[in-house]
Amino acid sequence: MSLDRSLPLLIGMAFAVLMIISRLLTNYHCKKRGKEMVAAGTTSGFIPAWISAFYLFGFVGLAVSCVWSFVATAWWAPLVIVFLYFLTGLVHSRAADINLLIRFNARQGLTK
Query: Is the Cβ–Cβ distance between 16 and 84 less than 8 Å?
Result: yes
**C-alpha atoms less than 13 angstroms from C-alpha of 31 in its C-beta half-sphere:** 8
Q: What is the pLDDT of residue 49?
A: 93
- What is the C-alpha to C-alpha distance for residues 76 and 6, in angstroms, rounded to an integer? 12
- pLDDT digits over 43-93, tens only? 888 899 999 999 999 999 999 999 999 998 888 989 999 999 999 989 988
